[in-house]
Amino acid sequence: MTEAESAARRARHLGGRRAEALAALWLACKFYKIVARRYRVRGGEIDIIARRGRTVVFVEVKARASLEEAMTAITEEKRRRVSRAASRWLAANPWAASHVLRADAVFVAPGRLPLHMEAAMELTIG
């Protein structure tokens, strides 16, 4: 990897971390309690896990140059990875099994407020 590629990779990573922090703050402003951030297991990952009342949400954060680009950035593979990680998280947190479970997304773009989309992805638990 060249120095330029390495610097670009670090910049993308830092941008992603900033977007996740902004998304967590946005959700907190909407009265969600952040339960976990950057939850990773073999075969899956979830950027943010949050709870509001009897609802637990597994949140994917996408940052792009525009909200439109961010909204098209969630692939079918990403949906499967979120579902796999959610299944593992639920196995380790049985208290959440009786809650409403949802897969949301927060889209982030420069100069715009974040866009929180409820039920942005189908969640397959099993």
Each residue's pLDDT tens digit, 77-89: 999 999 999 999 9
Which are the contacts of 3, defined by CB distance < 8 A and separation ≥ 6? none
Does the pLDDT at position 14 exceed 90?
A: no
Each residue's pLDDT tens digit, 18-72: 999 999 999 999 999 999 999 999 989 999 999 999 999 999 999 999 998 999 9
Q: Domain containing 64 — which CATH number?
A: 3.40.1350.10
Q: What is the pLDDT of residue 3?
A: 82
| Tally of domains within the chain | 1
pTM for the predicted model, two decimal places: 0.90
Per-residue pLDDT band for 6 (boundaries 50, 70, 90) equals: confident
Q: Is residue 126 part of a domain?
A: no
Per-residue pLDDT band for 4 (boundaries 50, 70, 90) equals: confident
Cα 8 from Cα 63, distance rounded (Å): 15
Cα 119 from Cα 61, distance rounded (Å): 13
Q: What is the pLDDT of residue 104?
A: 98
| Phi, psi for 77 (deg, rounded to 5) | -60, -40
**Token pair recorded at residue 103:** 């897969």
Cα 50 from Cα 113, distance rounded (Å): 19
Q: Which residues pair with 56 in a beta bridge?
A: 51, 101
- CB 101 within 8 Å of CB 58: yes
33-41 long-range contacts (CB < 8 A, ≥24 apart) are 36/89, 39/85, 39/89, 40/85, 41/84, 41/85, 41/88, 41/89
Q: Is residue 74 part of a domain?
A: yes
Q: Is 67 or 1 the better-scoring residue by pLDDT?
A: 67
Q: Which domain holds residue 46?
A: 3-121
